[in-house]
Structure 1
Amino acid sequence: MDVVETCGKETTLSSGEPSNKRSIPSIDYDGVVGFENDAEIIMKKLTGTTKELDVLSIFGMPGLGKTTLARKVYNNPSIVNHFDVKVWCVVSQAYNRTTLLVEIYKQAINKECKIKENDDVADMLRKILIGKRYLIVLDDIWEVEAWEDLRLCFPRGENGCRVMVTTRIEQVAKYLQHRSDPYTLRFLTMEESWVLLQKKVFQGENCPSNLVEAGLQIAQHCKGLPLVVVLIAGIIAKMGREASLWLEVANDLSSLALGEQSMKVIQSSYDHLENHLKHCLLYMGLFREDHKIAVDDLLKLWMAEEFVLNSETENMEEASRVCLNDLLNRSLVMVSTKKINGDIESCILHDVVREFCLRKLKEEKFMQLTVPYSPYQHLCSMNSRLCVYIHDDLVKQLDHCEYQFDKITMLESKESTKCFGECSRSLEFIAHPNFNPWNKSNPLPLLVKLKLVRVLHFPYEELPSSWPIAVQSLTYLRYLEISVEEFDFEWISHLLDLQTLVVRSSNFRRTSPATIWKMKKLRHLNVKKLSFVWDDNDKAIFEETSTTMLENLKTLHSHRIFRYDMNPRFWWRFANLEELSLRVEALPSCSLFPSVEVHTRLQSLYLVISPQRFLDSVGWESYFVFPSNLRHLRIGGCFLTKEMTLNIARLKKLESLTLETGFHWDDHHCWDVTNVEFPALKYLELYGARMEEWKASEESFPVLEELSIRIGYYYKEIPPSFADIPTLRLIKLYDYTDSLGVSAMNIKKEIEENTGCDSLQVLLL
């Protein structure tokens, strides 16, 4: 069944096959709230001076009010009077091209007509639109193919014609882009939600004072989603006007607001997903409400559970990110924060989607028949796995049944019975990161019984000292994140399938690296304190002819590493590193990257070295010649000498640079880059840089987009040449001197005077 978003009292039918369509009950949005500014922006785009055909896409998650906003604009008198022809059609997931064209044609001629079987409706429509200024609204487009089926019917004259599209798929919005960028719809503020709730409940009357507090709580719990506000208003409008009843609604809003009507909207998106994306989405539903999910961690967890790719596949990270982008494009997942390079740092599920996921999981008793996704493997492969999420009720039954899985009542189903009948070992448990049901001080005995678990995630509570013994039996682990008192690679070297290892240890322990070479599938390593002790057995590793490699290792992070006991050739063993983060406790005696061509895939480097190590050193800069393909560099501690600056400028692909550096107090504190160019640098951050003066030319940062200065107490101004950087869009100052703030505003003023555009934003924080 296909579900379409509808609004208003006019059209609620899809333009697909009528016999196969059912629409959700029409919701009256006459009391539109919160879209005034949005509507004004869109109307200006629709009636703007551009004479060429333009396509404006309104993009957002289900229930956010895309159709509401489009209808508000469509019915505005200024829009009605501006266009000769206006057409509104709902496209939806499954549509029939001919039926859709007929509907558009009938509205375009504004009368009923009979279409013969052999009529070329597309050509008829094109001809009727030629020479007219038209507005075509295509509501709820799911696929770019729908646009390709229609676009040739819309003449590209110079009449100021427009096509307005609503979609929950970001990829579709971007594909349709002509001149105007896709318009991303925001959530309502709490105040706007409260105004909309009052309009719907009281129909223009004022809310009684005794209901205001409870009403505000209800509005807040609607989380800015208009569909939820409207649906909950319909519920409380039929209640008695008693504060106690409204407070009950506020306390139990999820079950009331997210009833079957609102769930249908999410269900339609869910049904449209491929099977592996359904597993990825449901997995996210078990994170805490409003939890900002770290994307890097999420992708590694998906990989560990084989929701995305088989463990032998080379580009699992890339495939996982494609899955996340698919969910983002469908508006089922939202971006929460971004990194300075524009990559997504964290994402979040709206409460509507999260509640849907939880309901779906409960319906299936937290069980999933999972097929590891691979582009080379058919989804109907027999290599499926019965996975059960570990949750409170399951833990209780596991204890009660002494871990005899065939006696657990909640696992009694056709799938699980067949699974148990064949081999109880084929039952796999998913220890979700949100999972912490036990109240015991020692959780390890339970996990010992779950030998097929793939993820062990205890990042905050320090595990008992017996943890290495317990982990001995968990040989299927792919993801291990723990906080422990002591750590040694030897204790986990038997985990040959391990992909991700994150260790926070409170005590420092020197360890032999010999055991790490056994873990060939290791892809991500983050150990807080890491120091290796070399012995005679390790010498062969450092021979240039040695084939001992961790070829799959992509990220390596350590908060403390001792260079004086590490042969530089050690780094050659990690040739495919993409991210490296180190705090080096001693000045190296030779180059950190003795052969820079080895690390051609290294994209991101974060390096911190204590500055006191440089006081008596000469020529230390030669130790810091970086791999040439670096795109992101962050350096802390070392002095920003002329030689060090040139080392950084040699990185022709460098896009972001963060400097947490200073100058030797015997030097003149001036960072002079007048004759130095950073050709690809888009983002520059200076964090507590101890310099009295900064010189630069307009050629120094030719494509810089953002400058951020934190703790800028040590110098007086930003170089005036920054006013000549055409790409500069943002300057952010934190903890700065008055003169530094004045220089930023002077740059902004000069750009406005020279260009006539207010293109630079200055944030004084």
Structure 2
Amino acid sequence: MEIEDGSGVQDLQPRTSLGAPSDKSTMVGLDDELIQILKWLERDSSRLNTLSIVGMAGIGKTTFARKLYDHQRIQMTFHIRLWVTVSQNYNERKIVLDLLDSMNKLTDKMHKKTTSDLKLVLFQNLKGLRYLIIMDDIWDTEVWNDIRCLFPDDKKRSRIMLTTRLESVAVHVNSNALHRMRFLNDDESWNLFCEKVFGATINDDERWNLLCKKVFGEDCCPRELNQIGTKIAKNCRGLPLAIVLIGGLLSKSTKTQSYWEYVVKNLSSFITSNDDQCKKIMDLSYDNLPDHLRVCFRYMGIFPEDYEILVSKLVKLWIAEGFIEPVTSKSLEDVAEEYLLNLVERSLILVSKRSSKGKTKMCKIHDLLHEFCVREARKESFFHVTDRSLNGLPKDISTSHVTGKSLYDLPTNFISLRRLSIHPNTETNFVHAESLPTSTVRSVLNFDPMLHLSVEFLNSRLLRVLDVNSFDIPTEILKLVNLRYLACASFPRKFPSSLYKLRNLQILILRCTESSFDLPPEIWRMPQLRHVHLDKVNLLDPPKAGVEEEHCLTILEDLQTLSTVINFRCTEDILRRIPSLKKLGILYADIRVDWSDYYLNNLARLQILEALKCLFDVPYPPFLQNLTFPTSLKKLTLRGSFLPWKDITIIGSLPNLQVLKLKRNAFSGLVWEPKEEQFLQLTFLLLEENNMKEWKADRIHFPKLQHLILHKCRHLIKVPCGIGDIPTLQKIELYYCSNSLVNSAKNIYEEQCDEGNKVLQVRIVEMPTPEF
């Protein structure tokens, strides 16, 4: 359980009774994980079992496995221990020979035997023994398919451990025994850093002072190095490889404040440019990628370092850039998500946040991998990263060459500037971005919130992607006929009515910075649109067609997302233009006409709609009167609808509903008593800011619930005790709720712990204590 009150966070995880290792660990950090794996290796199961250790390059899989392999308890438990490194270039005969050599059974005569004979010798020598085999660095499932028959299962409690960067390999071997390596925390990173730089770990100020006096002399104790060193260790983001490499470099270099400050400012590039080992490790993962994944992974460097990337945005960019290969019977979005999952399983992309449906919502990559992507992109002129002063561009592309020259006078090497990413730079006030040579640019992504770009510098008809923070939309944008992706915050002015001339536009993301404005109805004449995201933007109805024009209506066959539309009218004419819509967001505000004009009853016509968000900023809308939802609906969000709890049966009967978010005043009433045989597929439930006092629910009402969030439920007295008995429940979160509600959640947690439930987590964020 996690309790937060603004002054700190307390974690209360499920109880465990694991003991401490029998000998002192020389590996910095990960002691808890070491104990868990020792427990698994020594457990009572007599059958041969396998366990995979999975993680990104440099996270310490081999070091961790070696620590287990050499542990005193392991030496006492197993009759024989064998270690074999498989690596990328798999050779079955070599693996067998290496295993025999590890057993001291390899002779000169054996080299003349066939592979089949060698396999038999290995099998016979393992027969009847309790053995531990470490297979390090496996890259292919075929390796396991070929060699699993070499290991006899005599019910002697033998174990096999594998290390791999690929989760697919681990799942193939044993999906139920998989250990994901975590990053080191700040304290573990600092201790490992000190061990590599000074040859000793530093846990407190007194030991630091003693060490400094030993290293620098009695009269020289550079306290500044402590602060800078802590920052260097922290900026390695918990990756042991980075800490070890930078620690090794600093141990052999001058230990001065100025030099260490230089290192901390250029950490990732400093490591990758000074160590061949790091480059080889990164190259191995990169070279193993198929071409279609390699280009997607390399593209990750276009985002700023440490940037949390919204997956839905990343997928749209990949599609707009043309990276996604069409697959029959699958949408481009589904294929792109498979690409992402593949990169996650290869430990190249890190999941930083999951959605309410369990999918990856936010992702990022480690700084070392980011630096690697930028370097690879620069070598191949795949993209260039710069800032408002044009730092980072090739030498021939600088303000001295650009200023005062027309695009036709620029050097021919400007054709390498295909994709341009503008990153923030707080250390400069110079703005030269308007002078960028862009006649050949295909993509522009601006991440600098202080840089306002004007369209005048966009002269490239080749431009496919334009993603900027603030952008005034003049008619000149209509020249960008190949534009596929447009994302910008627009000033409130009239949008060009000839927008439809951007016939190739697939993704449109518009956010109004001030008062709302109208998007012209001509948008309904853009058949390539796939995703439209609006904020403070009104989408006008399409022009009404006459009888003779009915057959000429533009059908937006590929439009999958339309959100969030102000006062959307669900007329038959509009809905039949968007038959493939999967996500719809609507905001109703300032309604002064009859609700029947909005035809909400027609929502059921969207037969493949999966996600619906309906927000009301009007008092007591008659929303659910005679209303039916599409049975395809998997996610529903309501806010401000003021429905009586009895009407929730309309929602509960939806056969595919998995996520339900009832935000502020979605429902009104003192008591909610769900009916049985409803919400059969619901896994996520959010209840926010309502006047409910009593919730009469049990495990039978939400049989598959995994995640419950209660937000500002200040009137609700308690969480129904039966909720804790739901077998699938993994997490309960409470934010700013009543004391009695908080206490009931704590009681549920304690009861489940007493019953041996080690899965349930509870997070409580209480109201901060007022200061007087």
Three-state SS of the structure 1 residue aligned to 2:691 is coil
> Residue by residue, what CA displacement relative to the aligned partner does 1:642-664 show, whole Å, maximum 9, x if unpaired?
45311101112111111115388
What's the CA shift for 1:79?
Answer: 0.7
What code does the residue aligned with 2:324 have? V
Q: Closer, same or farther in 2 for the Cα pair 1:311/1:179, shift >3 Å?
A: closer
What does residue range 38-77 of structure 1 map to in structure 2 within 5 Å?
38-77=33-72
Choose which of 659, 680, 704 in structure 1 pairs with 2:662.
Answer: 659
Q: Does 1:762 align with 2:757?
A: no
What's the CA shift for 1:428?
Answer: 4.8
> Residue by residue, what CA displacement relative to the aligned partner does 1:463-519 show, whole Å, maximum 9, x if unpaired?
23xx33221210000001122223547231111111100111234344553x23321
Q: Does 1:212 align with 2:207?
A: no
CA distance in 2, matches of 1:47, 1:533: 68
CA distance in 2, matches of 1:438, 1:747: 49
Choose which of 584, 588, 595 in structure 1 pairs with 2:588.
Answer: 584
What's the CA shift for 1:110?
Answer: 5.0
Q: Which residue of 2 aligns with 1:468?
A: 474
What does residue range 566-605 of structure 1 map to in structure 2 within 5 Å?
567-585=571-589, 586=591, 588-589=595-596, 594=601, 598-605=605-612
Question: TM-score under structure 2 normalisation?
Answer: 0.82
What's the CA shift for 1:42?
Answer: 1.1
Q: Closer, same or farther in 2 for the Cα pair 1:657/1:533, shift >3 Å?
A: closer
Question: TM-score under structure 1 normalisation?
Answer: 0.83
Q: Does 1:155 align with 2:166?
A: no
CA distance in 2, matches of 1:239, 1:186: 30
CA distance in 2, matches of 1:37, 1:142: 27
Three-state SS of the structure 2 residue aligned to 1:612 is coil
Q: Does 1:703 align with 2:710?
A: no
Is 1:590–1:623's contact at 8 Å kept on the other side of the alignment?
Answer: no
CA distance in 2, matches of 1:224, 1:341: 28
What's the CA shift for 1:541?
Answer: 11
> Residue by residue, what CA displacement relative to the aligned partner does 1:560-602 show, whole Å, maximum 9, x if unpaired?
2244xx6244223211111111112347327856456642322
Q: Which residue of 1 aligns with 2:247?
A: 233
Q: Does 1:408 align with 2:412?
A: yes
CA distance in 1, matches of 2:128, 2:375: 52
Q: Which residue of 2 aligns with 1:272?
A: 288
Three-state SS of the structure 1 residue aligned to 2:102 is helix
> Residue by residue, what CA displacement relative to the aligned partner does 1:203-254 show, whole Å, maximum 9, x if unpaired?
2385414132232232122221111111112212122343333333333323
CA distance in 2, matches of 1:36, 1:47: 17
Is 2:661–2:685's contact at 8 Å kept on the other side of the alignment?
Answer: yes
Q: Which residue of 2 aligns with 1:621?
A: 624
What code does the residue aligned with 1:455 have? V
What code does the residue aligned with 1:582 have? I
CA distance in 2, matches of 1:739, 1:435: 45
What's the CA shift for 1:256?
Answer: 2.6
CA distance in 2, matches of 1:470, 1:521: 21
Is 1:336–1:346's contact at 8 Å kept on the other side of the alignment?
Answer: yes
Choose which of 100, 125, 129 in structure 1 pairs with 2:126.
Answer: 129
> Residue by residue, what CA displacement relative to the aligned partner does 1:328-386 show, whole Å, maximum 9, x if unpaired?
22222111111121111111111111111122222234469xxxxxxxxxxxxxxxxxx
What code does the residue aligned with 2:147 have? L
* Range with bigger deviation, 533-542 or 285-294: 533-542
Three-state SS of the structure 1 residue aligned to 2:705 is coil
Is 1:294–1:347's contact at 8 Å kept on the other side of the alignment?
Answer: yes
* Range with bigger deviation, 121-130 or 259-268: 121-130
> Residue by residue, what CA displacement relative to the aligned partner does 1:645-695 show, whole Å, maximum 9, x if unpaired?
111011121111111153887xx5211114462111111110112212211
What's the CA shift for 1:725?
Answer: 1.8
CA distance in 2, matches of 1:683, 1:394: 51
Give the root-mean-square deviation of aligned CA atoms. Answer: 3.2
Pick 1 or 2: higher relative contact order, CA cutoff 8 A, min separation 6: 2
What's the CA shift for 1:311?
Answer: 12
Is 2:604–2:628's contact at 8 Å kept on the other side of the alignment?
Answer: no
* Range with bigger deviation, 210-219 or 701-710: 210-219
Q: Which residue of 1 aligns with 2:4?
A: none
Three-state SS of the structure 2 residue aligned to 1:429 is coil
* Range with bigger deviation, 721-730 or 531-540: 531-540
Q: Does 1:288 align with 2:304?
A: yes
Is 1:511–1:531's contact at 8 Å kept on the other side of the alignment?
Answer: yes
CA distance in 1, matches of 2:616, 2:659: 20
What code does the residue aligned with 1:445 have? E
CA distance in 2, matches of 1:567, 1:595: 7
Q: Which residue of 2 aligns with 1:633?
A: 636
Choose which of 244, 247, 265 in structure 1 pairs with 2:261.
Answer: 247
> Residue by residue, what CA displacement relative to the aligned partner does 1:428-473 show, whole Å, maximum 9, x if unpaired?
523242466996x5531111x2111101112x32x23xx3322121
Q: Closer, same or farther in 2 for the Cα pair 1:156/1:325, shift >3 Å?
A: same
What code does the residue aligned with 2:29 have? G
Is 1:391–1:435's contact at 8 Å kept on the other side of the alignment?
Answer: no
Q: Does 1:32 align with 2:27?
A: yes
Q: Which residue of 2 aligns with 1:321?
A: 337
CA distance in 2, matches of 1:435, 1:760: 39
> Residue by residue, what CA displacement relative to the aligned partner does 1:270-289 show, whole Å, maximum 9, x if unpaired?
11122232222222112111
What code does the residue aligned with 1:662 have? N
Is 2:539–2:565's contact at 8 Å kept on the other side of the alignment?
Answer: no
Aligned length: 688
Choose which of 548, 557, 561 in structure 2 pairs with 1:555.
Answer: 561
CA distance in 1, matches of 2:158, 2:176: 12
What's the CA shift for 1:265?
Answer: 0.7
Q: Closer, same or farther in 2 for the Cα pair 1:622/1:90, shift >3 Å?
A: same
> Residue by residue, what CA displacement relative to the aligned partner does 1:416-435 show, whole Å, maximum 9, x if unpaired?
xxxxxxxxxx9952324246
Q: Does 1:728 align with 2:729?
A: yes
CA distance in 2, matches of 1:535, 1:185: 54
Is 2:381–2:416's contact at 8 Å kept on the other side of the alignment?
Answer: no
Is 1:282–1:361's contact at 8 Å kept on the other side of the alignment?
Answer: yes
CA distance in 2, matches of 1:362, 1:500: 27
CA distance in 2, matches of 1:291, 1:454: 23
> Residue by residue, what CA displacement relative to the aligned partner does 1:722-749 show, whole Å, maximum 9, x if unpaired?
2332222221111011111122223234
What's the CA shift for 1:151?
Answer: 1.1
Q: Does 1:508 align with 2:516?
A: yes
CA distance in 2, matches of 1:151, 1:524: 47
Q: Which residue of 2 aligns with 1:382?
A: none
Q: Does 1:524 align with 2:534?
A: no
Choose which of 318, 338, 349 in structure 2 pairs with 1:302.
Answer: 318
CA distance in 2, matches of 1:430, 1:437: 21
Is 2:539–2:566's contact at 8 Å kept on the other side of the alignment?
Answer: no
CA distance in 1, matches of 2:136, 2:713: 50
* Range with bigger deviation, 634-643 or 336-345: 634-643
- Unaligned runs of 5+ residues in structure 1 are 1-29, 369-388, 414-425
What's the CA shift for 1:539?
Answer: 5.4
Q: Which residue of 2 aligns with 1:383?
A: none
What code does the residue aligned with 1:69 have? F
Is 1:525–1:557's contact at 8 Å kept on the other side of the alignment?
Answer: yes
Is 2:79–2:129's contact at 8 Å kept on the other side of the alignment?
Answer: yes
CA distance in 2, matches of 1:520, 1:592: 24
Three-state SS of the structure 2 residue aligned to 1:46 is helix
Three-state SS of the structure 2 residue aligned to 1:266 is helix
Q: Does 1:433 align with 2:441?
A: no
Q: Closer, same or farther in 2 for the Cα pair 1:631/1:391, shift >3 Å?
A: farther
Q: Which residue of 1 aligns with 2:619?
A: 612
What's the CA shift for 1:707?
Answer: 1.2
Three-state SS of the structure 1 residue aligned to 2:132 is strand
What's the CA shift for 1:106?
Answer: 3.0
Q: Which residue of 1 aligns with 2:82?
A: 87
* Range with bigger deviation, 603-612 or 426-435: 426-435
Q: Which residue of 2 aligns with 1:200?
A: 196
Q: Which residue of 1 aligns with 2:21?
A: none
Q: Which residue of 2 aligns with 1:257?
A: 271
Three-state SS of the structure 2 residue aligned to 1:92 is coil
